[in-house]
Amino acid sequence: MNQSTKARVIVLDNIAEEGLAKLKAADNIDFDIKTGLKGEELKAELANYDGAVCRSGVKITAESLEGNKKLKAIVRAGVGTDNIDKPAATRLGIVVMNTPAGNTVSTAEHAMALLLGLSRNVAPAMESLKAGRWDRKKFQGSQVAGKTLGVIGLGRIGQEVSARAKAFGMKVIGYDPFLTGERAKELGIAKVEEVKNMLPDVDYLTVHTPLTPETTNLISHDEVKQLKQGARLINCARGGIYDNEALVAGLESGHLGGVALDVYPDEPCTDNPLFQMDNVLCTPHLGASTDEAQVEVAIEAVDLMINYLSTGEIRSAVNTISLDPKTLNKLRHHLDVAHRMGRLLSQWHGGAIDHCALEFQGELAEVDSRSLVSAFCAGLIGHISDEANIINSEMLCRERGIEIVRTANPDHSTFSSMISASVSGDGVKRSAAGTLFGKNMPRLVKLDEYQTETFMDGNLMVFDHTDVPGIIGYVGNLLGEAGVNIGQMAVGRCSENSGGRAIGVLNLDSTANEEVLKQITENEAIQSADIIKLPAIKELPEWLS
Ligand code: NAD
Ligand code: MLT
């Protein structure tokens, strides 16, 4: 490649020399290092480059990408891509990739360092020594062996922290919506079904989840009160998972024994009120800052960039799919069906899933079904992972111990193509089948053993009942009184005759609250009523739109 066709890459944060050396050696790439950019300056620079490599320092906002016609890829040397506006990048056709595993161990070690440092007053004892005092009494600490650690989020880092805590003789209690009983047993972790169930029992609590709407302020004032007196809290994941004000209040009241943070809601952060308080140990986002992790993520990030700019290969993408345009056009609406089925089955099952079986029938038996499996997986775990998309979702499922089995069956009895799926875990199995009516209308045609014909659209209410007269009217009246309009309705039963078990599936214009669902199940012929939330019919996930 001659000089004029070379791709241009900008490195926006400091990355390890080993990564820079690879960029230097790439003969089809020119690169510049420009750190500390923001605002108009960042926007102007980004407009001149084909690729950008960063860590978490630079904030690549929608404004900084606005009107950018040149940038093709952003690679994050690290895990969290919350400093990059992914919807804005996607809209501009910019691939965002990350390096998820390179800093796992370093971050787990940092969480342990904070846990131990907090327990043994390492930082204040050093300060006191520096000030010329020999105070052994004041800094008496607590032993961690025999204590209980609560871990919220048992992905890559959470699992490594658990293993290390166990090696220190701690008992570990864990919560992660995707942790099955079996996997918890393998990890030697006592699993709880809800965060609040572990709070009264833990001496230490550590969080290792992404920052999502569900995890923002996950531990706030009420949760702090439920914690054991003297509990110590650690956060090496993302600022905002603990409510900062609740931490301050918990320390002031003496209910919390200590707080250790590596991450903050707004970074860089130098004026958090916690920094002035006793029993607090804080570091400036150092979890991944080891020589080893930085070399690993820098090399991986640069490899991703070089491969993408040289061959178009996309790996570890967090905002796009790896399909070529022709295949995407052919499969787009089937991918939508598969994604909706994943969303539906994760809610219909409602618990931890460790096995999925997918069968592609009719015409779909003839295509490469990997992207359909990925679309299903993206639906299945979309509500717990902010990274899940068609590129990475199957890997994320497998990393969480979910076994995925796919089969193809060219027979098509009723529909020219159909996707049948079942999910199981913790002794519960749920299944469904979906198809396309016409070219682009996703329909649910089976739910468990019931045949149905339901629009896979918006809020569904599913009620399991005995097939006796009056049930539909009863449900309709209660929804009507609650101001909930029914858009569509389907009923299905297992046998030909009335009096057996049946299912009703309603498409509601707005969702029914818990109170209405409770009233519905007060009828003794109705065994259950559940809400399943699906995207509205034309609403496609970011990676499919
Ligand atoms: P991961 O995706 O492997 O694991 C995250 C886990 O959180 C998953 O198992 C997921 O099921 C779980 N989860 C999601 N929502 C949840 C919820 N509401 N309640 C409980 N669990 C939930 O990610 P990882 O690599 O282990 O990283 C974890 C976090 O650490 C991320 O926020 C990442 O950005 C951060 N991180 C920080 C540093 C640092 O320098 N401090 C370094 C690396 C990663
Ligand atoms: C990450 O998400 O990888 C970490 O926060 C580490 C970093 O920002 O370098």
- Separation of CA 19 and ligand 2 centre (Å): 16
pLDDT of residue 2: 41
- The 3-state DSSP composition of the chain as helix, strand, coil percent (nearest 5) reads 35, 25, 40
Atom of ligand 2 nearest to the CA of 263: 5
Q: Which residues of the chain have pLDDT under 50?
A: 1-3
Pocket test for ligand 2, best of 56, 295, 297 (most atoms within 8 A of CB): 56
- Separation of CA 391 and ligand 1 centre (Å): 18
* Nearest ligand for residue 213 CA: 1
Every domain range in the chain assigned CATH 3.40.50.720: 3-100+292-311, 104-282
* Nearest ligand for residue 56 CA: 2
CATH number for the segment(s) 3-100+292-311: 3.40.50.720
Name residue, tokens 């149905």.
Answer: 452
Pairing of strands 355-362, 417-425: antiparallel
Atom of ligand 2 nearest to the CA of 78: 3
| Inter-CA distances, 385 with 153, 155, 178, 237, 363, Å | 11, 10, 10, 14, 31
Atom of ligand 2 nearest to the CA of 287: 6
**Closest of 338, 342, 393, 343 to residue 364, by C-alpha:** 338
Q: Is the CB of 430 under 6 A from ligand 1?
A: no
CATH number for the segment(s) 104-282: 3.40.50.720
**Closest of 330, 340, 313 to residue 368, by C-alpha:** 330
Q: Is the CB of 103 under 6 A from ligand 1?
A: yes
Q: Is the CB of 179 under 6 A from ligand 1?
A: no
- Separation of CA 210 and ligand 1 centre (Å): 4
pLDDT of residue 3: 44
| CB-CB contact of 265 with 236 (8 Å) | no
pLDDT of residue 324: 58
Atom of ligand 1 nearest to the CA of 178: 11
Every domain range in the chain assigned CATH 3.30.1330.90: 323-448
How many alpha carbons fall within 13 Å on the CB side of residue 69? 0
Q: Is the CB of 78 under 6 A from ligand 2?
A: yes
Which residue's alpha carbon is nearest to atom 34 within ligand 1?
Answer: 80
Name residue, tokens 């639906």.
Answer: 379
C-alpha 41/C-alpha 34 separation (Å) is 11
323-448, which class in CATH?
Answer: alpha beta
Catalytic residue ranges: 238, 267, 285
pLDDT per position as a tens digit, 233-284 = 999 999 999 999 999 999 999 999 999 999 999 999 999 999 999 999 999 9
Every domain range in the chain assigned CATH 3.30.70.260: 457-536
Pocket test for ligand 2, best of 103, 261, 262 (most atoms within 8 A of CB): 103
CATH superfamily, with its number, for domain 457-536 = ACT domain (3.30.70.260)
- Separation of CA 110 and ligand 1 centre (Å): 14
C-alpha 533/C-alpha 523 separation (Å) is 24
**Closest of 187, 436, 483 to residue 335, by C-alpha:** 436
Atom of ligand 1 nearest to the CA of 214: 18
C-alpha 211/C-alpha 332 separation (Å) is 30
Burial 97-111 (b: 16+ CB within 10 A, else e): bbbbebbbbbbbbbb
pLDDT per position as a tens digit, 82-141 = 899 998 887 777 889 999 989 999 999 999 999 999 999 999 999 999 999 999 999 999
| CB-CB contact of 75 with 305 (8 Å) | yes
Question: What DSSP string describes 153-172?
Answer: --SHHHHHHHHHHHHTT-EE
